[in-house]
Amino acid sequence: MSPDKTRKPDLLLWEETIFKDRDLFELDHLPEHFLHRESQMNSLKFCIRPALQGGRPVNALCLGPPGTGKTTAIFKLFEEIESHSSRIVPVHINCQMDSTRYSVFYQIYKKLFQHAPPSSGISFKRLFEKVAQESADREMVIVVALDDINYLFHEKEVDHVLYSLLRAHETCPGARMAVIGIMSELSLNYVLDPRVVSVFQPEEISFPPYSRAEIKDILGRRVQMGFYPGVMAEEVLQEVVDCTERYGDLRVGIDLLKRSGLSAEKRASRSISSADVAGSCDRSRLIHLTYALKSLKEDERLVLRLAAEKKSWRAGELFARFHEQCGAGYTRFHEILNKLDSIRLINADFSGEGERGRSRVISVRYDPEELISRLGEDA
């Protein structure tokens, strides 16, 4: 009997796949269609525009929770700049990797000269002069995106970086540089040096979490382009959207599409079922946890760790424990609760009860043991 006759039509042959384009489900994939970020893209372009006419760009600061498209917006902007202008040199710096003034300028040098600085070692002063002089000589504007700029907050490194970039023209007339800061924070808590503030007055561009309809649109587009037709039914997509919305991070949805696709293939199925999604959601949401934890400061981690010690806390009790451990006041505690709530690490709902009016009840949104162990891992 030939294998074809025994094959059920809904089963995949071993060499077949439901993925039309696997790359679309990788987190570093730059999407062709960047939906629902038109206004942010317009603001960014508006900041850069003066440079096209030989002027100085406006500095910008992109703010928003994890997985809201900030890094993607910068990559899209830079792609466009590079295809339209040779007078602007965009440089993307991942501050988690390059977190000193020296390494930031090292990367700029590399981009500008298309090769690394001499390996014999070069002082910061020399590195800086070369970069600034090149910008002046070739009449180029260097636009530096400092992604996850909070990684420069240690030892005032951010002041050194911004100062060097934005006052370069004072020591090297004609040099032009602009900065786009990117942060998954709601407000810039760091107090910049006054000499930096006078030159860095950024246009703030906000990246709010995507609404449910927007999440559905974005993930629906990936499904359409990344899977063969009929692989994911509308109701199943809804379930992926549900899981994504719960964590507010688009990475959860993209990862979930991939994992549930792999789960369907494992069963040799031509379509993804609700069970494939339900079985993968738990793993995909940890992606959000990993990214969300990286944006936390020490006192924020403390509140989260304490919150995970009990199933639920009254805000007042949790504050007492927090205050006992680090001495910080209620205003800061309140700020932290709001942040942890907004990036969906905790629930902080009003109970409607309480002796002195309404009080908030705090609980963590992840398995407490998982949370505590992850907090320990990257401490």
Ligand X SMILES: Nc1ncnc2c1ncn2[C@@H]1O[C@H](COP(=O)(O)OP(=O)(O)OP(=O)(O)O)[C@@H](O)[C@H]1O
- List contacts with ligand X (CB under 6 A): 27, 29, 31, 34-37, 64, 66-72, 184, 207, 218, 250-251, 254, 291
Cβ within 8 Å of residue 222, ≥6 positions away: 24, 25, 31, 254, 257
**Helix, strand or coil for residue 90?**
strand
Helix ranges restricted to H, the chain: 3-6, 38-52, 70-84, 101-113, 124-137, 157-166, 168-171, 194-197, 212-226, 234-247, 250-266, 274-293, 298-307, 315-326, 330-342, 368-377
Cβ distance to ligand X smaller for residue 267 or 297: 297
Q: Which of Mg ion, ligand X, none does 291 bind, CB closer than 5 to 8 A by kind?
A: ligand X
What is d(CA 323, CA 334) in angstroms, rounded to the nearest whole number? 12
Q: Which of ligand X, Mg ion, none does 254 bind, CB closer than 5 to 8 A by kind?
A: ligand X
363, containing H or E segment: strand 360-364
Cβ distance to ligand X smaller for residue 127 or 250: 250
Q: How far is the CB of 148 from Mg ion (least distance, A)?
A: 6
Q: Which of ligand X, Mg ion, none does 72 bind, CB closer than 5 to 8 A by kind?
A: ligand X
Q: How far is the CB of 350 from ligand X (least distance, A)?
A: 28
Cβ distance to Mg ion smaller for residue 43 or 71: 71
What is d(CA 289, CA 298) in angstroms, rounded to the nearest whole number? 16
Binding mask 29-68 for Mg ion (x = CB under 5 A): ----------------------------------------
Cβ distance to Mg ion smaller for residue 75 or 322: 75
- For 32, counting Cβ atoms within 10 Å of its Cβ (0-12 exposed, 13-18 middle, 19+ buried), the class is exposed
Please give the backbone phi and psi of residue 216, each rounded to the nearest 5 degrees, phi first.
Answer: -65, -40
**Beta strand 360-364 pairing with 141-147:** unpaired
Query: Is the distance from CB of 239 to CB of 253 less than 8 angstroms?
Result: no
Q: Which of Mg ion, ligand X, none does 37 bind, CB closer than 5 to 8 A by kind?
A: ligand X
Which of positions 310-339 make contact with Mg ion (CB under 5 A)? none
Q: How far is the CB of 195 from ligand X (least distance, A)?
A: 28
Q: Which of Mg ion, ligand X, none does 248 bind, CB closer than 5 to 8 A by kind?
A: none
For Mg ion, which residue has the nearest CB? 71
Cβ within 8 Å of residue 365, ≥6 positions away: 246, 344, 345, 346, 347
Which of positions 65-124 make contact with Mg ion (CB under 5 A)? 71
Q: How far is the CB of 236 from ligand X (least distance, A)?
A: 19
Cβ distance to ligand X smaller for residue 134 or 185: 185
Query: Is the distance from CB of 127 to CB of 119 less than 8 angstroms?
Result: no
Cβ distance to ligand X smaller for residue 61 or 140: 61
Q: How far is the CB of 147 from ligand X (least distance, A)?
A: 7
Q: How far is the CB of 374 from ligand X (least distance, A)?
A: 16
Cβ distance to Mg ion smaller for residue 293 or 306: 293
What is d(CA 130, CA 364) in angstroms, rounded to the nearest whole number? 50
For ligand X, which residue has the nearest CB? 69
Interface size with Mg ion, residues (CB under 5 A): 1
Query: Is the distance from CB of 179 to CB of 104 less than 8 angstroms?
Result: no
Q: Which residues of 287-297 are buried (b: 16+ CB within 10 A; e: fewer)?
A: bbbebbbebbe
Cβ distance to ligand X smaller for residue 57 or 64: 64
Q: Which of ligand X, Mg ion, none does 251 bind, CB closer than 5 to 8 A by kind?
A: ligand X
The site for Mg ion (CB under 5 A) is made up of 71
